[in-house]
Chains A and B, each alone.
Chain A
Amino acid sequence: MNGRARRGSAESRHLLSDFLRHELGLTGTHVGCEHGVCGACTVLINGEAVRSCLVFAVQCEGAEVTTVEGLAAEDGELHPLQEAFQAAHALQCGFCTPGFLMSLLPFLEERRDSGALTDDEIRDALGGNLCRCTGYQNIVEAVRLAHTKMSGGAGNSAGNSVGTSTGNSAGTCAAEGA
């Protein structure tokens, strides 16, 4: 579980999504439909993006599971993909976001050394995740930006124009939810 062994008990019918959220307290993984359409619950199982609402917890015994909580560095520094989402304003309510991040991670890893991504390629990659707030446009920009960052700037540089930061550096969050 995000690089650490975690133990918990699950009934055979317990969904992985429920197990992660309510047994292990990893509430970053969200549940939007519980029937495999929205993608909000996406996590990595042995490196592959999987909808955790369609998997039983018991199926994951011994597996390597990564959730959104495992993305940023120990010291809190954002992963380049997370950073790109902030820079491009690719989230509004943020409920769908963990699912998008986890779906995109293997996609971007795979294309680390490929050239610039086309719009169609990116939109296809996003096609399995629903977002009700953003209209996807800024998520497309964020993917482009992340691809550039992750491939060491070799990719497409278009899209850098969005989201200039004035004064506040990424990673500083003064906002409190409740």
Chain B
Amino acid sequence: MKVSVIIDGQMVQIEQGAPIIDAAKKAGIFIPTLCYHEALKPYGSCCLCIVEVIQDGQRRLVTSCNFPAAVGMEIFTNTARVRQSRRMIVELLLVRCPDVPLLQTMAKQMGTGLSRFKTREANECILCGLCVRFCEEVVGVGAIGLANRGVDREVATPFKMASDVCIGCGSCTYICPTGCIKMVSDRKTPNLRSLKMGNCSLVPCPNSYQCETCQIEQEFFKDIKRVIAEFRSKGQ
């Protein structure tokens, strides 16, 4: 069933229950995101996509990547409160990852060059979970996961041991918005490539990346290549 919602004054029709970011896309309104990706289930962790919504007389901030559209909803994507909150998110992320260019650019766009918080960490991972979810949902492997709680949360392989299920497809390196996971050359592996990331090392393909002769990999790759191509064509 289609419902009409009003987004920044424009009336848009979208599927009932679809995330309201879809309405924004239809209306041609840009909403910044970090943990959202079309090929993946919504996750709602970065909160950068927040918008202000009036529903049943209540006005509140919601994450547009997963908040379901409903009849009579009014959405505002660029109010002072929205801008302020987004700026705060980027500021907080800059404390965690001061050297990530993407965040620096975002901060500049939002008019907040420097973070007012003085601490500085040397992390590159913003914990958006894209790599983990892509590996699980699209590649179907689940070589990496989000381990620990709270401040100790991190992307890691189980027990931080070299993963024996990673197929070395490199999807995570493509999807990572901060360049935290990299493909590096590794003299010890047959094909001279391996993945390196802060705290997990991924074991290279047992088949020496002879993907052409490997049935399973071929199947995987067809899908991954398509998604990655799509992902890149979206201007990343």
On whether the two chains bind one another, the answer is no
